[in-house]
Amino acid sequence: MATDPVVVWVLCCLAVWVVVKCELLSDYECPANCSCELDPPFTVCTGYGATSIPVGLPRSTISLTLTGYNLSELDLWELSSLTLLETLDVQSNKIRHIKGTLEVFPLFRELKLENNKLTNLSPKLFGNTVKRLGLVSLKGNPLNCDCGGILLDGDICDCTNYICECNIKWLQKQVKSYPDIWKGAYCHHGSSKDTAISKVDIEDFWCRTKHCWYLTIIYLGLILVPILFCRCWYKKKTINRPDLVADNQLNTLARKLGKEWEHLAIHLGITTAEVDRCKSDRPGNTLGQISDMLKLWKEKKCNDATVGNLIQGLKSFDEGSLDKDKYEFLRECDNRSCSSYTPLIGNIQ
């Protein structure tokens, strides 16, 4: 018996329809606490305080409603598989921050953010999607319309090619330019509380000058770091020089000198004014005056304040009239590590 071609064609079409229908039904496995419609493909989920977005949402969804969640942060990348999504309703989910961009949804048109805890919105959230938006509802969010402080939240600025703009200033421009699309944006901080964002005078000093501050800090760092490095290197090099005179050696020498110290000071390169200052700083304390003079010599000589140079200066004073016993201990130190030398008498107060 011959098979009617029409019957064969109908059976083939029916088989294809069954396969397609099964595929669609498999795609519409609906997560718990969600209602998933097939035609039109709308999905509505109630969180009952849940802290995460449900997994396994139908990929053909064009309208998604999430309500009653405790999300804190809404991560749009978790919804990126919904490539046909046109409407996202996330009212009343305690959202403080939105991560990602709406550009992952090529057909996106409506965003409902009412009754959350958003204080600002970044232009990066919308990207090129902003050109085809039909509705952005923001009522009930505590928007912060202040852009004026360096200590404010670091996310208040959006920067492109070293040009920065305050996010809330950008939002104000959208509301003023497209009032039929951007709805319910009110400021909820400071003197602008409960005022429509379109009527607020927003000062944008910090974001406009942000890179100037950063560049200034960077330049100062580039200048200060080498200076600090050189200073530390110099200090370390100085500390590691055993031939430099130590303060305790100068104190010991001060105890061995007498009335000749003023003439000796001039011979060592100390000025008369500096000698007078040493005397006035310690009136009646000859030992302290001599000690201050020797330490001043060390400061002035800096890297040349070596034991050898000090001995040479003492030896040549007044044609060698200074008793060698007064500085002979320094010569012994010069022949070994000066830093290891410890006098028998303590420091001069």
Residue 327 or 281, more confident: 281
For residue 342, pLDDT over 50 is answered with no
Give the pLDDT of residue 235.
Answer: 61
The model's confidence at residue 210, banded by pLDDT at 50, 70 and 90, is low
> Strand pairing of 186-187 and 195-196?
antiparallel
Give the pLDDT of residue 233.
Answer: 66
What are the pLDDT digits (tens) for 247-266? Answer: 888 999 889 888 889 999 89
For residue 176, pLDDT over 60 is answered with yes
Give the pLDDT of residue 259.
Answer: 86
For residue 301, pLDDT over 80 is answered with yes
Residue 209 or 115, more confident: 115
Can you tell me whether residue 73 is helix, strand or coil? strand
For residue 193, pLDDT over 80 is answered with no
% of the chain exceeding 90 in pLDDT: 42
The model's confidence at residue 190, banded by pLDDT at 50, 70 and 90, is low
For residue 151, pLDDT over 60 is answered with no
Residue 1 or 143, more confident: 143
For residue 163, pLDDT over 90 is answered with no
Contact 150, 206 (CB under 8 A): yes
- C-alpha to C-alpha distance for 78 and 138, rounded to whole angstroms: 22
Question: What are the residue ranges of helices labelled H in the chain?
Answer: 5-27, 123-126, 167-177, 205-208, 210-239, 247-256, 261-267, 272-281, 286-301, 307-315, 328-334
pTM summary value: 0.55
Give the pLDDT of residue 343.
Answer: 44
CATH superfamily of 30-209: Ribonuclease Inhibitor (3.80.10.10)
What are the pLDDT digits (tens) for 312-326? Answer: 888 888 888 888 888
- Across 59-77, average pLDDT: 95
- C-alpha to C-alpha distance for 167 and 121, rounded to whole angstroms: 6
Can you tell me whether residue 165 is helix, strand or coil? strand
Structure tokens at 304: 């040349």
% of the chain exceeding 70 in pLDDT: 75
The DSSP secondary-structure symbol of 59 reads: T
For residue 108, pLDDT over 90 is answered with yes
CATH superfamily of 247-340: Death Domain, Fas (1.10.533.10)
| Domain pair 30-209 / 247-340, same fold | no
Give the pLDDT of residue 341.
Answer: 42
Domain boundaries, the chain: 30-209, 210-240, 247-340
Give the pLDDT of residue 14.
Answer: 73
Residue 104 or 194, more confident: 104
Contacts of 347 (CB under 8 A, 6+ apart): 247, 248, 251
Give the pLDDT of residue 223.
Answer: 85
For residue 147, pLDDT over 80 is answered with no
Residue 166 or 105, more confident: 105
Contacts of 249 (CB under 8 A, 6+ apart): 307, 329, 330, 333, 338, 341, 343
Give the pLDDT of residue 51.
Answer: 93
